[in-house]
Structure 1
Amino acid sequence: MISLGIPEDDISPDATREEAGLDSIAVVELALVLRREKGLAVTEEEIGAAATVADVAALVASR
């Protein structure tokens, strides 16, 4: 499990990235963690293009 310090109860699938606390710094950190710890080729640009938490999850699941 990856933790960026955002309480799980505060996140819903339809929340925007910003509502979930995924600002530009968190997007970079998430992409780095996904590459280093999970071996997933996900770029900051791809995460940044995702509109909602569900979109980010779908992106990760597709890899």
Structure 2
Amino acid sequence: MTGDLACILTDDLKLPADQLTDDASLDHAGFDSLAVVELSVLLTDRYGIDITDSDIKNAATLGQLDLLITSKRTGR
């Protein structure tokens, strides 16, 4: 997982750092419905990328979420 995503999850969403591994599910990492919405808004504000709540929920792991964010940022 990239440092950017880890910082957003710990600093902005206040998720526990010890739960944030590439293979952790969103539930295991501490995501709830509010965290999903907040992450979507943060990504739009900070990076100008459009990632929907559904896109985030469909990521099986934090590693997959990170790949999704990276691909949206790079346009690939």
TM-score normalised over the length of structure 2: 0.74
Tell me whether 1:31 sits opposite 2:20 in the alignment. Answer: no
Equivalent position SS for 1:28:
helix
Tell me whether 1:42 sits opposite 2:59 in the alignment. Answer: no
Gapped runs of 5+ residues in structure 2? 1-6
Instruction: Trace 1:1-63 onto structure 2 (pairs within 5 A).
Output: 1-2=7-8, 3-63=12-72
* % identity of equivalent residues: 38
| 4+ residue runs over 2 A deviation | 7-10
Gapped runs of 5+ residues in structure 1? none
Deviation at 1:6, TM superposition (A): 1.5
Greater helix proportion: 2
TM-score normalised over the length of structure 1: 0.87
CA RMSD of aligned residues (A): 1.2
Most deviating of 34-43 and 3-12: 3-12
Size of the aligned set, in residue pairs, is: 63
- The 8 Å contact of residues 19 and 28 in structure 2, kept in 1 or not, is answered as no
